[in-house]
Structure 1
Amino acid sequence: MSDSTHDTHLAADPYRALATLHGAGRGSLTDAVAQALRAAIVSLAMEPGMMIDKLAICERMGVSRFPVSAALAKLAAAGLVEVLPQRGTRVMPIVMHDIRQHLFIRSALEVETVRMLASADRDSSDDTLDTLEANLARQREVVAAGLRPEFHTLDLGFHEILLDAIGLPRVKEIVAVSRSALDRARRLMASPERHANTLLEHERIVDAIRAGDADAAAQAMHRHLDEVVAELRRFAGERPDLFKE
C-alpha cells in the first residue's frame, strides 16, 4: 500500500482537528473535549500508538487540564486510548484480536443476511435490488473520481440496505456496533485500489442475490469480509507501530 494512502490521515499536526471551546460548563466541557478527541482518533488525525500531549490539547482547545484528563478517562473506558504506567497516555493501537472478533460477528450475520435475500421471493426483493443498483452506480462514480470520504459513506449505505431488507433491527444494531469498532482500520485501508476491489466485491454480492443463488451470495459476502482481514494483515506488516495483537 502506497504512502499516499495515508497522506490525509497522518499529518504533521495531530491536534489540527481540535477546535477551541467556549462557554461550556465543566460536565459539558468534558463531553465536548471527549467528542473532539474521539473524532480525531477515529479519523486518524491522531494515529494509533501516538503518545498524547495533554498540554498541547489544553492549549489547542483553550481548556484546563481537568476536562482533558476526564475526557481521556472516558476514551480509555471506550478502548480508544490507554494509560501506560510511568509513560503517559497514548492512542490505542488497532488490536488485531479485536478486529478478528468483530469481523467474525459481521461475517456470521451478514453472510446469512445475503443468503436470506437471495432466497427471497423475487417480487419482494425487486425494490432492494433497485436500491442496491443505485448505490453501486454511485460507488462507480466516486471510485472513478477518487472520492474517499464519499466512498466510505456509500460503503456503509450498501451494507445498511442489505440489513434493512431482512427486517431484523436487532441484527442491524449488532452489526453496527462491530462496524463502528472497525472504523479506524477501514480508514487506514482507504486506498483507491482497496475501494476498486470493494466495489467489485459488492457487485458480485448483488449479482448473486439477483440470480437467486443463496450459496454464491453467502460465499461472495464471506470473501468480501475475509479480504478485509487479509488487507489488514498486509498493512500491519508494513506499519507494525499502528497495531498490536
Structure 2
Amino acid sequence: MTNATERVLSAIREAIIELELRPGAMIDKNALCVEFGVSRFPVSDALNRLQAEGLVEILPQRGSRVARIRMTDLTEAMFIRRPLEAEMVRALAPNASDEWLFELEGNFAYQTLAVERGDRREFHRLDLAFHEMMLSRLDFPRVTATVDSARRTLARARKILASPRRLADTLREHSAILAALKARDGDAAATAMNIHLDAVLSQLSVLVAANPGVFVVDEKPPAAEAG
C-alpha cells in the first residue's frame, strides 16, 4: 500500500466510524482527490479496501457510498465477543491482583465522570479502555485480535446507540463486572459480562428497527467491484 493510499484510507475510515460520513451517503471521488491532493488511484484503492472491511459499497456505474450497517454483522460480532469475553473474566477473576483492580477502578471512576458530564466521546474511549485492560491482562494475542475485529464491526452502531440512558446502563453493567472481579468470583464475572453484551445486542436490535435508512436487516453484502 502506498503512503498516499494509506493516508486516504485512514482518513476515510475514521470519518465513517466517527459518523462524519453517514451510512448510505454517496462518496465523491473527485472531491476526495482534491481534498487529499492525490490522483484517482489512491482513492479507488482505499475505497476498495474499505469495501473489504464492510464500510463502503462500490456500485457499478453509480459510484461509491458509505455502507449501511448490517444487522447480521452486528449479531455475528456479538456472537464472537460473548463467549470470549465471558471466559476472559472467568479466567482473570481468581488471580486478580490488587494493583490491576485498582487500575480498573480508576478507569471506572472516570467513566462515571464522563456519564455525569454527558461526554459520549470520552465515555466511549474509556469503555474501550476498560475492556482492553482485561484483554491485555489475559495476554492471548489471537483472542485480542479476534475481539478487536468484532468491536470494530460494532463501532458505528455503538456510537449511534450512545444515548444518555445507554451510557448509564453500560456504567451499571461495568460496575457489576468490576464487583465480581474484586470478589475474585469468575462465574459471577462471566455472568455479568454476558448480561452486559446481551443488553448491548438487545438495544442494537431496537435501534435497527427504528433506523431503516441507516441499518440493513438480512441483506447480503455486494460483490467487490473495481473502483
* TM bin (shorter chain): 0.7 to 0.9
Match of 2:204 in 1: 232
TM-score by length of 1: 0.82
User: Residue in 1 aligned with 2:92?
Assistant: 117
> Is the contact made by 1:49 and 1:241 (CA closer than 8 Å) also made in structure 2?
yes
Percent identity of equivalent pairs: 49
Higher relative contact order (CA 8 A, sep 6+): 2
Q: CA separation in 2, counterparts of 1:32 and 1:134? A: 35
Residue among 176, 198, 201 paired with 1:204: 176
Q: 2:154 aligns with which of 182, 187, 191?
A: 182
What is the Cα-based RMSD across aligned positions, in Å?
Answer: 1.8
The whole-number CA distance in structure 1 between the counterparts of 2:176 and 2:89 is 11
Deviation, structure 1 residue 229: 1.0
Q: Which amino acid aligns with 1:68?
A: V
| Cα displacement (A) at 1:221 | 0.5
How far did 1:72 drift?
1.3
Q: Return the offset for 1:211.
A: 2.2
Query: 2:213 is matched with which residue?
Result: 241
Match of 1:37 among 6, 9, 12: 12
Cα distance in 1, alignment partners of residues 28 and 164 from structure 2:
33
Q: Does 1:170 align with 2:145?
A: no
Q: Taking structure 2 as the reference length, what is the TM-score of the superposition?
A: 0.88
In the alignment, which of 79, 90, 93 is matched to residue 54 of structure 2?
79
Aligned residue type for 2:132: E
Matched, 1:102 2:77: yes
Counterpart CA distance in 2 for 1:109 and 1:40 is 29
The amino acid of 2:49's aligned partner reads K
Is 1:117–1:125's contact at 8 Å kept on the other side of the alignment? no
**Structure 1 gaps, min length 5:** 1-25
Structure 2: runs of 5+ lacking an equivalent: 218-227
Match of 2:124 in 1: 152
Query: Cα 1:157–1:240, aligned 2, differ >3 Å: closer, same or farther?
Result: same
> How many angstroms apart in 2 are the aligned matches of 1:31 and 1:205?
38
- Write the distance in 2 (CA, Å) between the matches of 1:70 and 1:209: 45
Q: Choose which of 14, 17, 23 in structure 2 pairs with 1:48.
A: 23
Match of 1:69 in 2: 44
Aligned residues: 217
Task: Extract structure 1 runs of 4+ deviating beyond 6 A.
Answer: none
1:163 Cα deviation after fit: 1.8
Tell me by how many angstroms 1:86 deviates: 3.7
Q: Tell me the alpha carbon deviations over residues 149-196 of structure 1, each in whole angstroms, 9 at most, x when there is no partner.
A: 211111111111222223323322221121122211111112222111
Distance in 2 of aligned mates of 1:133 and 1:168:
23
1:193 has 2:165 as partner: yes
Q: How far off is 1:29 after superposition?
A: 2.1
Amino acid at match of 2:107: N
Secondary structure (helix, strand or coil) at the match of 2:64 reads strand
Distance 2:130 2:71 in 1: 25
Tell me what 1:20 maps to.
Answer: none
